[in-house]
Amino acid sequence: MFADKFRLDGKIAVVTGGGKGIGLSCVQALCEFGAKVVIADISPEIAAEGQKKMAALGFEVETRELDVTKPQDVEALAAELNETFGKVHVLVANAGIARSGVAAEDTTDEHWLNVNDVNYNGVFWCNRAFARHMLTSGGGAIVNIGSMSGIISNRPQKQTYYNAAKAAVHQMTSSLAAEWADRGVRVNAVAPTYIETEMTSYRHDNAGMIDVWLRDTPMHRMGRPDEIASVVHFLASDASSLMTGTTVVADGGFTCW
């Protein structure tokens, strides 16, 4: 009875920014539990690389080019995938950018708007577009990728634009969940700590940065993409059927201190 709740056989899932990093690990997790997965990434090359990696593991995934900052494109993709597959059951709104390391007083309009456009507006466009179909077709599960940066202020790097956008994702998650709960659409979020992906590779160029991160983390380590993907899988599956509006923190204890 319990093991079945984790299965996703026959389910269609879309992962934005799914070509690499945390997104690609989510793709693998969802595939391993039986879902048919579509990688929707801004870069067709990165999406194709991700598809190749999944094929090497025996999983056939599809790819679509998508820039989550373009609401009309997001709507078109949701319509096309629902038409092609009959229904999309799971959306993982993962696409995000960081552009860390700029002080608030030095942040340009372009910088602020760009980070918020991808990390905040993009998440809403995707939630709205895919939920429109889920609400009229028996429900679905949405998992948004937030961040512990939506709860704390990182140090030593400055990134108010990113932190604010991620806090907004957490609030958006609970507000959407409240609106859609009685119509079968669950919306949850995951708030990861520092994860070993390209996004955090700037740590190598900043002496001492990693030491601060690890000192501030009770587990004294960064996380791996698969450690976020397993939480995403849980929230996407019926194993979390009573959960909606929650932001699950996966941070090695960072927010305990």
Catalytic residues: 162
| Using rule CB under 6 A, residue 163 touches ligand NDP | no
Decide if residue 19 touches ligand NDP (CB under 6 A).
yes
Distance CA(228)–CA(145), nearest Å, equals 9
185 contributes a contact to ligand NDP by CB under 6 A: no
Question: Rounded to the nearest 10 degrees, what angle do helices 109-116 and 160-180 cross at?
Answer: 30
Q: How far is the CB of 151 from ligand NDP (least distance, A)?
A: 11
Question: What is the phi-psi region of residue 17: left when phi exceeds 0, alpha when psi lies from -120 to 50, beta otherwise?
Answer: left
- Asked whether 169 and 150 are in contact (CB, 8 A), the reply is yes
Site for ligand NDP in 117-136 (CB under 6 A): 118, 122
Say how many C-beta atoms besides its own lie within 10 A of residue 45's C-beta.
10
**With binding defined as CB under 6 A, does residue 66 bind ligand NDP?**
yes
Toward ligand NDP, which CB reaches closer, 4 or 198? Answer: 198
Beta bridge partners of 145: 190
Return the residue of 96, 140, 245, 252 that touches ligand NDP, per CB under 6 A: 96
Give the total of residues touching ligand NDP (CB under 6 A).
30
Position 164 contacts ligand NDP (CB under 6 A): no
Please report whether residue 252 would count as binding ligand NDP according to CB under 6 A: no
What are the strands of the beta sheet with 185-192, ordered from one edge? 62-65, 36-41, 12-16, 90-93, 140-145, 185-192, 247-250
Residue 22 or 131: which CB sits closer to ligand NDP? Answer: 22
> For residue 122, which amino acid is it?
G
Residues that bind ligand NDP (CB under 6 A): 16-17, 19-23, 41-43, 46, 66-69, 94-97, 118, 122, 145, 147, 192, 194-195, 197-200
